Chain A
Amino acid sequence: MNPFRVALAVARKDLRSEWRTRELVPALAQFIILALLIGNFGFQIDSRSAPSIAPGILWLALVFAGLVAFGRTFAAEREQASLEAMLMTPASPVAIFAGKALAASALLVICEAVMLPALSIFFGTPFSADVIAAVLLATVGMAALGCLFAAIVARIRARELLLPLLTLPLWIPFVIAGGVAVQSAMGLPGNYQQAIGLLIDFDILFVVLTSLAARFVLDE
């Protein structure tokens, strides 16, 4: 079986089930708006301080929304015990994993499509291609890692507890480089080119590593 077609089929299945229930995306979008609201009241924001505070709120909201999204990735499969059925097919576990990661990152991109305009409306920060590029690049690697650890904790008691503890430390490189990229795109000092280059490096590194590890996590 062609692994790319398997991955696309799994992704299409996940997105279709999300489209039919429409649970996760509205919940995540509302979560993000609430995070921006809390950020607004937690900080003293005016037009001068906004560029230095908005990137922080952006990454906090994105990281926690990502945790919720990836936590749900394997939840439905577990409730229906359908993951075992998928793994019994001749399709390779890595392709199945890639499909799930693809679907989860698509959902996260939809959330970002809500968050970035909302951020620039509420905080008056620039809504530029530079910001979008940095966030999208970070999403790639974060999705690979988030899906891997979602698959790991799906088998463990207290999974809601453990997913943030395992995933957040591994996302830190993306937050560091992405933070600098967004800050400099919003007019703070920082080397944008360097940060974007670093994000691309991390994406390559972690996508390769997670696809190597996926076999051990999903395989029975």
Chain B
Amino acid sequence: MNRYEKAAAVGVALMLLAAGAIFLYAPDDALQGPVQRIFYLHVSSAIAAYGCFAVVLVGGIVYLRNESVIADRFARSGALIGLLFTTVTLVMGMLWAKPIWNTFWTWDARLTSTLVLWIIYAGYLLVRRLAEPGRQGARLAAVVGIFGFIDVPVVHFSVTWWRTQHPGPIVVNNALPPEMLATFLFTLVCTLVFAAVLIAIRYRIEALLDAKLRIAEPIQVVPAQRPEAVR
């Protein structure tokens, strides 16, 4: 096993442990019943997705400042993994909403902004696919990634002014019983580790793809020298 395989094994094992905690340790919700167990992974993967998109944001800013290929690879990996976790969040949220709200979807601030988040980073990955690989594509994608990150709170804020149904943050409000809180925090840590493992593996894949396309660190510009006189 190389170290990526080991890391993947640890990540999967942690997620299985989290599943055990969710289904065996956490108590049933008094009002919602077993459906409420969706909460743990739903919120954890949302936080993991925000973390991944923060990687895209920071990677993009660093790339625009000093054209570091490493930052760009991190941004690419973060966008893909973040999109994955956003998909998980949206699908699990819809499955939870159907029995509780009696609808899969409502145009609430948090749902709308999460959907916009998904669309923006899907667009980011399309830019990466369609633009010429290398400096140009990386710069353009960095701008898209930065604007995407800014747009999400803006959408959230603008919908919040008019309509909202999604519950607010209950973890920070100390509204969870201790077993639920422990399960949630454990699931959160496991999900974040899993996301980090996925980003690391994706980074390796991007590095190998770059090597195939021969995208290396920018070539140092050597000042022109006068040709030596031929004797």
Given contacts A156-B131, A209-B147, contact A169 B116 (CB under 8 A): yes
User: For residue B154, which residues in chain A have a CB less than 8 angstroms away from its CB?
Assistant: 173, 202, 205
Per a CB cutoff under 8 Å, which of A162, A177, A216 touches B142?
A216
| Cα–Cα distance between A30 and B216 once the two chains are bound (Å) | 50
Check if A172 is an interface residue, CB within 8 A of chain B: yes
Check if A129 is an interface residue, CB within 8 A of chain B: no
Structural contact, B150 and A209, CB atoms closer than 8 A: yes
| Cα–Cα distance between A168 and B154 once the two chains are bound (Å) | 14
Structural contact, A156 and B130, CB atoms closer than 8 A: yes
Check if A82 is an interface residue, CB within 8 A of chain B: no
Structural contact, A216 and B159, CB atoms closer than 8 A: no
Check if A155 is an interface residue, CB within 8 A of chain B: yes
Per a CB cutoff under 8 Å, which of B112, B127, B132 touches A166?
B127
User: For residue A177, which residues in chain B have a CB less than 8 angstroms away from its CB?
Assistant: 158
Interface 0/1 of A165-202, CB less than 8 Å to B: 11011101100110010000000001100100010001
Q: How many residues of B contact A (CB 8 A)?
A: 30
Interface 0/1 of B120-141, CB less than 8 Å to A: 1011001100111000110110
Interface residues on A, range: 20 to 34
Per a CB cutoff under 8 Å, which of A162, A169, A191, A194 touches B119?
A169
User: For residue A85, which residues in chain B have a CB less than 8 angstroms away from its CB?
Assistant: none
| Cα–Cα distance between A155 and B132 once the two chains are bound (Å) | 9
Check if B144 is an interface residue, CB within 8 A of chain A: yes
User: For residue A156, which residues in chain B have a CB less than 8 angstroms away from its CB?
Assistant: 127, 130-132, 137, 140
| Cα–Cα distance between A194 and B155 once the two chains are bound (Å) | 15
Per a CB cutoff under 8 Å, which of A152, A162, A172 touches B143?
A152
Per a CB cutoff under 8 Å, which of A148, A158, A169, A176 touches B123?
A169
Check if A53 is an interface residue, CB within 8 A of chain B: no
Nearest-neighbour CB distance to chain A for B7, whole angstroms, equals 33
Check if B206 is an interface residue, CB within 8 A of chain A: no
Structural contact, A213 and B143, CB atoms closer than 8 A: yes
Per a CB cutoff under 8 Å, which of A162, A168, A190, A198 touches B158?
A198
Check if A207 is an interface residue, CB within 8 A of chain B: no
User: For residue B142, which residues in chain A have a CB less than 8 angstroms away from its CB?
Assistant: 216
Per a CB cutoff under 8 Å, which of A155, A157, A165, A173 touches B140?
A155
| Cα–Cα distance between A174 and B112 once the two chains are bound (Å) | 14
Q: Which residue of B lies closest to A165 (CB)?
A: B123
User: For residue B127, which residues in chain A have a CB less than 8 angstroms away from its CB?
Assistant: 152, 156, 162, 166
Structural contact, B155 and A162, CB atoms closer than 8 A: no
Check if B146 is an interface residue, CB within 8 A of chain A: yes
Residues of B within 8 A of A (CB): 64, 112, 116, 119-120, 122-123, 126-127, 130-132, 136-137, 139-140, 142-144, 146-148, 150-151, 154-155, 158-159, 161-162
